[in-house]
Every structure is written in C-alpha cells, then in structure tokens.
Amino acid sequence: MENNQGQLVTVENASKFYGELAALNSLNLTIEPGEFLVLLGPSGSGKSTLIRSLAGIEKIDQGRISFADQIMSEGDKHVAPEKRNLAMVFQDYALWPHLTAEENVAYALKRRSLSREESTKLVLEMLDRVGLANKRGNYPSELSGGEQQRVALARAIVARPSLLLFDEPLSNLDADLRERLRIEISTLTREIGASALYITHDQSEAFALADRIGVINKGAIEQIDKPEKIYNKPATRFVANFTGTAGHFRGIVNSVDEKYCNVELGGDLLKARHTTNLEPGMEVDILVRPAATSFDSTGKNRIKCSITDVAYRGRGYDHAIETKYGSLTGVFDDSAHDRGERMEVSIDPQRCIAFQIADSKVVEGLARI
C-alpha cells in the first residue's frame, strides 16, 4: 500500500474547559508533514486533552484545529474521529478483547476498501514486522503487555494514516520493553512517512524519539524546539526542571556577563549560565543538569559535599550528595565513594542554568542565604 503523505497539523488558540479548569489555554502548535513531535509535560498539563482533541474524541471550546487546509474543529464544526484519516496508539492499548491479534489489526483496514486477500497480506506483513506473526490467532488476553502494545502499534500503522497519535503508549511497560518498543515506534513511524504526535511525561523517551519537543504546562506550550535546544537552552525554569536536573541551589546574583553569572550561595560563589536577563542582587535558582557534576578535583566551580548514597550502574557509580546549599543526585564517578565520605563536587557552568525566582526583588548588599 502507498504511504500517505504526512499531514500538516495546525492548532491555533485552542482552549478546552472542564468547568472552571482550562485544560487547554489558547494553545498554538504546528506539526510539519512527516515530523515526529513529542509533547512533554506532567500529569494534568493538558497533553492528553490535546491529543484527544486532535483525534476528534474531545471537542475544543475555542480556537481551531486544521489538517493541511481542512478545518477539523472550529466553533460548531467538528469532524468526527473516523473521518480524520488518523490512527492512535492508546496508553491502555485499547485492543478489542473479542478479536484476535490479526482481527484487531485488520479492523483498521476496513476504511481502505481493500480486497480480503490484500487486507490479509498487509495484516500479516505488519504482524511479522512487529514480531507477532506466530501469534496472529491469539486473543489480547493471551498476549503479554509488550505484545499487546505491539499489536496496537501494528493496528495504528497498517492503514498508513497521514497522522499518528501516541498517547503515552509505553507508560505501562517495564524499562527493557519500553526501550525496544520505543525503537520500533520510531522506525515504523518514519518508514510510513506519517506526521506523528507523541505525548509523554518521560523526558528520556521524549529526547530519544523527537524531531522536535514541545514542553506543555497548564494547557499551553512553554517551549517548542529541537531536543538539543530544549536541553541546552531551556526557555523557562519549568522547562529546565522537567527536562532533567540533578538538583538546584538558591542564591543571589553577584555579577553577570553576556553568557554567565556568578551566584553567591552563602559562602561559595557558583558560576552558571543564564538564559534570561539577570542583574546583580537578584534572587535565582540554579538548576544543575546531571551531566554537569563530577568529582574532578582539578575542575573549577567546586563545592564541599558529603556522600549520602551510592548506587552501582554497571558503567560506574551514581552518587547522591549533600552540600551546605542543598542535595544533588546522579553525580557519576568511575569508582564508588563511601557513604559519609567528604568530597568536593565540581559543577560545569555550561550545564547549570540560573533562573530568576518569580517575583524576587533585587537585594542590595550581601547574599541573604
């Protein structure tokens, strides 16, 4: 079967209310044809509402959703889910329990008006592709969680839709399976050329899959960009926090240059990057990425600490440490350090970012903390 061209999806000022609560708050988003976009956000951020609105399961209250030049939702207009030429992989798999794996996958081809032979051929090819050809006659209750989700993936992809929606499809699986299925999702989706929207609260999943990542909070997109940009230049404290930190320190800006600032922590001076305009005397939070930390005694930007926990990770050891200013986790070293051992942690200024604390005022004189 021919691949459908990936769909251009545009969401303009979309709002959706549940009583007083705005699940979507004038949200804007574009998915380019063939792009794999991942929306990353915590529970209750509106990502499920958005994906369900794109699917046509929910109706938006305000704004517009268009696929290419066709309006799907706007005002009273609401195109039914079955007419949107898309497919979706659900968090709970949503496999129909009275149909076998083969019948579940074949169901998605009904709208394609294919001959029985053609349909069977495509279904078997797809089941083979996801490694389940030998389980085609099994019912969902006879399959493991990973197998069920692979059937759901095959069902979504078999009809070559122009838009694929993934609603946290890996969240019910164990770590090993998650990784294997993530690769299958990534390769299969790109193979068929569909546009894809994938929602998750797992930042590692988002970084591994996405062409672009959108970070969503309180029903609006906080930042949307390439994964590297999101990681290295988070636009807000929320984005930085949600995309992985080892911990944070609070302090007062001592001096600022174009790229870096020195922050007084209350005895130690820590150098950090800044992404917003800071002034000396401002109260800031320094978010430290895990990769910023090491026990390199020659490095600059060092703070005294003691080891509180150590965990073997195969390639080395992750340490949890306690400093005068707060704790950090995931401090990696090739060798293990004993609990209680006094050390110095070195923090790479390039990988820690200072954000002004909301509503903080400039503090004159010395640091208060």
Partner 1 sequence: MKLKVKFNALTAFWILIVAILVAPILLFLLNAISPRSLSQGSEWFTLRAFTSIAHGQFAQGLFNSFILGVLVAVLTAFLATVIAWIVLRTNSPIRRVWTFFVFALLLAPSYLIALGWQRLIEQRGVFDILGIPSAGIRNLFYGPVGIFIVLAVKGLPFAYLVISNSMRSLGGEFEDAIRVHGGSRIEAFKTMATLLSPAIWSAIAIVFAETISDFGVAATFSSESHFPIATYSLYLAIENFPANYPVGAAVGTVLLFLIVIALLLQAKYLRGRSFRTLSGRTRPFRTIELSRLGKWLSSGFVIAILLVALGVPAFGALSASALSGVGSPFSGHAWTLMNYKSVINSPSLHNPLLFSSKIALIVALFASILAAVCARLLTQKKAGAGSQILDFILLAAVALPGIVFAAGYIFAYNLPLTNSLGIHLYGTTTLLGLAYLAGALPSTSRSLVGNMSQLQESLSEACRVHGSNAIRTWIDVTMPIIAKPLLAAFCLTYAGTLLELPVSQLLYAPGAEPLSVGIDKALANYDYGGGTAMEVLGILSALAVVAVAYSLFKLLAPRGWKRIGVARGK
Closest to partner 1 by CB, 167 or 264: 167
Residue type, 312: Y
Q: How far is the CB of 171 from partner 1 (least distance, A)?
A: 14
Q: How far is the CB of 92 from partner 1 (least distance, A)?
A: 6
Which residue, among 140, 159, 160, has the nearest Cα to 150 in the 3D structure?
A: 140
CA atoms within 13 A on the CB side of 105: 31
Q: How far is the CB of 87 from partner 1 (least distance, A)?
A: 6
Q: Are 50 and 41 in contact (CB under 8 A)?
A: no
Q: How far is the CB of 47 from partner 1 (least distance, A)?
A: 16
Q: Which backbone phi and psi does 157 adopt, to 5 degrees?
A: -95, -25
Q: How far is the CB of 94 from partner 1 (least distance, A)?
A: 4
Q: How far is the CB of 257 from partner 1 (least distance, A)?
A: 52
Closest to partner 1 by CB, 63 or 161: 161
Q: Are 15 and 26 in contact (CB under 8 A)?
A: yes
Closest to partner 1 by CB, 165 or 265: 165
Q: How far is the CB of 127 from partner 1 (least distance, A)?
A: 16
Closest to partner 1 by CB, 51 or 239: 51
Closest to partner 1 by CB, 115 or 141: 141
Closest to partner 1 by CB, 96 or 300: 96
Q: Are 120 and 133 in contact (CB under 8 A)?
A: no
Q: How far is the CB of 59 from partner 1 (least distance, A)?
A: 11
Closest to partner 1 by CB, 21 or 366: 21
Chain residues in the site for partner 1 (CB under 8 A)? 52, 55-57, 80-82, 84, 86-88, 90-92, 94-100, 103, 107-108, 110-111, 139, 141-142, 155-156, 159, 165
Closest to partner 1 by CB, 54 or 181: 54
